[in-house]
């Protein structure tokens, strides 16, 4: 089920809210049970078979965390149980997500033709597997005690607001909230506003930019493939992916707030970054911090003896980050691309970058990011290289043409609005506006909701880009 769908907005969410708030706050276990059942229903709406996999993941990790804790309490080595748990989790992820990629690679390298069936990807598997692994690692490190109640743990894994596309909520951040959390009218209101803003970002902005990008990529090798048109397409995708994913995160955080949960922020205006290092502190924060805590630091992070070892650590983390996003070489390439740029920033241009004018720092960052998104959005590495070659004038049919002018005329204002909306200024202004004219602000929010619903009624299926991860 999609957040941005009529079924979710007008049937599922009101019913779940009603059932949840009918139960008095002191009966937290019953409230958790309602949320868990609702989450399983939400997931099984689109994944009737794979809901079993999610239940399995909950039961398996719940049981194994208790085994690991038992070992720790008995002062035995928990290494065997830890390795077993990690291997099983990664095996599940690998089987469903990377099996086809592996077979294609084997067939490609060995020039064989092994028949196989690449399975359909269970939605959200990368997100909930990483959540479960964070729990296992934290229990192993004694950061948190193992959960004694399967219901609470299953809710942590399956909680529908962040189940499908994150943020990747670490267990330690919500452990207390699973047992005790507060709901209030104030929090409900804040959550609703955040949800509607996220809905507007996705439906009104991301989908519109997505349509523009799709139109431009369809030009392929045709006469309309000009340098400027392809740059407009790259900008459209840059804005689409930000509003799509940060919109989803806003909706998840808003829904969490409605039900009393406080999730950490996942985005902090990444497009105002002055360097790529800064960008990755602001983009998909929950994923970056997951890799930092559970891969980069255990590898030694930057506290290693040699520069070579540090570079190795960075490349491993970024290759894995790329691979996490998708089972294809263009994602691995995309991850390595960022790994290499971060190494260059760290060891070569870092100091110099801070000394150039601020505007040039922004231009540099956005240039790198926009080029990176081409690898990310393309169906294959070949398609990405073709698109990039046109952007840089190779194989392009001129600098611009009538189609470029058409796109500028029809989408120029919207692209400008998107660029402004990706900065903190509109929200900061809106907050001030809320303080002064609360009534009008409420009407604005209601207007965004109505427009989004109107768009949804007349639009086709529009899944979130991050669903495929």
Partner 1 sequence: MEIKEIQSTLTTQLKKALKLCVFIIVSVITFIKNIQRSFVIKVLLVTVLVLFMGAVYSLQDADDVPLSEIDKALKKETRIEKMEECSERQLMQLIGIDASAYDSFIYYKSKKALGVDELLIVKANNRADLDGVQDAVDKRISNQIATFQGYGPEQVAMLKDAIITKRGNYLFYCVASNPEQYEEVFKYAV
Residues that are catalytic? 325
Interface with partner 1 by CB under 8 A: which range of 46-54, 177-185, 199-207, 334-342?
46-54
Residue 255 or 328: which CB sits closer to partner 1? Answer: 328
Of residues 60 and 433, the one with the C-beta less far from partner 1: 60
Q: Which of 11, 52, 392, 394 binds partner 1 (CB under 8 A)?
A: 52
Sites for partner 1 among residues 344-403 (CB under 8 A): 379
Binder to partner 1 among 84, 394, 406, 425 (CB under 8 A)?
84
Q: Which string of x and - marks every residue 401-440 that binds partner 1 (by CB under 8 A)?
A: ----------------------------------------
Four-residue CA torsion sign, 297, 303, 309, 314: positive
Q: Is 56 in the site for partner 1 (CB under 8 A)?
A: yes
Q: Binders of partner 1: how many residues, by CB under 8 A? A: 26
Pairwise CA distance, residues 364 & 393, whole Å: 19
Asked if residue 60 binds partner 1 (CB under 8 A), the reply is yes
The span of 58-66, 193-201, 404-412, 445-453 binding partner 1 (CB under 8 A) equals 58-66
Tokens of 39: 């989450």
- 68 versus 317: smaller Cβ distance to partner 1: 68
Q: How far is the CB of 248 from partner 1 (least distance, A)?
A: 18
C-alpha to C-alpha distance for 427 and 421, rounded to whole angstroms: 8
Residue 53 engages partner 1 in binding (rule: CB under 8 A): yes
Taking phi first (over 0 means left), then psi (-120 to 50 degrees means alpha), and beta for anything else, what does residue 73 get?
alpha
| Contact predicate 464/2, CB 8 Å | yes
Closest separation in Å from C-beta 110 to partner 1 = 17
Rg (CA), the chain: 23
Choices 50-58, 129-137, 346-354, 389-397 (CB under 8 A): range interacting with partner 1: 50-58
CA angle, residues 438, 266, 290, in degrees to nearest 5: 160
Verify binding: residue 115, partner 1, rule CB under 8 A: yes
Quick check: 414 and 240 in contact, CB under 8 A? no
**Cβ atoms of 217 and 387 closer than 8 Å:** yes
Given the rule CB under 8 A, which residues bind partner 1?
Answer: 49, 52-53, 56, 59-60, 63, 67, 84, 88, 92, 95, 100, 104, 115, 117-120, 328, 379, 458-461, 468
């Amino acid at each position: 089920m999609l957040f941005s769908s009529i079924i979710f907005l007008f049937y599922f969410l009101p019913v779940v809210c009603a059932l949840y708030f009918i139960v008095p706050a002191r009966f937290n276990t019953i409230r958790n049970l309602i949320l868990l059942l609702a989450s399983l229903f939400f997931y099984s709406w689109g994944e009737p078979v794979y809901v079993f996999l999610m239940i399995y993941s909950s039961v398996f990790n719940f049981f194994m965390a208790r085994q690991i804790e038992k070992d720790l309490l008995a002062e035995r080595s928990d290494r065997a149980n830890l390795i077993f748990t990690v291997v099983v989790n990664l095996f599940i992820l690998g089987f469903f997500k990377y099996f086809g990629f592996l077979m294609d690679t084997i067939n490609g390298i060995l020039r064989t033709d092994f028949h196989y069936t690449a399975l359909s990807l269970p939605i959200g598997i990368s997100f909930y597997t990483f959540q479960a692994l964070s729990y296992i690692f934290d229990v192993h490190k004694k950061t948190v005690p193992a959960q004694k109640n399967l219901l609470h743990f299953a809710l942590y894994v399956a909680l529908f607001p962040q189940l499908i596309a994150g943020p990747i909520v670490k267990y330690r951040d919500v452990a207390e909230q699973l047992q005790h959390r507060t709901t209030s009218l104030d929090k409900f209101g804040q959550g609703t506003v955040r949800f509607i803003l996220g809905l507007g970002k996705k439906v009104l902005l991301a989908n519109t930019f997505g349509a523009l990008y799709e139109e431009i990529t369809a030009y392929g090798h045709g006469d309309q493939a000009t340098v400027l048109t392809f740059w407009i397409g790259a900008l459209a995708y840059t804005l689409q992916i930000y509003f799509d994913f940060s919109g989803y995160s806003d909706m998840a955080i808003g829904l969490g707030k409605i039900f009393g949960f406080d999730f950490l922020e996942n985005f902090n205006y990444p497009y105002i970054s002055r360097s790529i290092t800064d960008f990755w502190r602001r983009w998909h924060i929950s994923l970056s911090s997951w890799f930092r805590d559970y891969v980069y630091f255990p590898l030694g992070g930057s506290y290693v003896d040699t520069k070579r070892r540090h570079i190795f650590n960075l490349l491993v983390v970024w290759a894995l980050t790329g691979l996490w996003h998708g089972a294809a070489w263009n994602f691995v390439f995309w991850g390595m691309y960022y790994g290499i740029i971060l190494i260059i920033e760290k060891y070569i241009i870092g100091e110099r970058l801070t000394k150039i004018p601020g505007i040039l720092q922004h231009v540099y960052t956005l240039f790198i990011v926009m080029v990176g998104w081409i690898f990310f959005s393309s169906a294959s590495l070949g398609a990405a290289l073709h698109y990039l070659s046109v952007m840089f004038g190779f194989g392009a049919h001129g600098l611009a043409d009538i189609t470029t002018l058409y796109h500028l005329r029809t989408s120029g204002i919207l692209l400008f609005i998107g660029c402004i909306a990706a900065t903190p200024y509109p929200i900061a202004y809106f907050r001030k506006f809320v303080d002064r004219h609360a009534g009008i602000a409420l009407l604005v929010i209601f207007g965004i909701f109505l427009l989004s619903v109107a768009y949804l009624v007349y639009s086709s299926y529009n899944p979130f880009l991050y669903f495929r991860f």
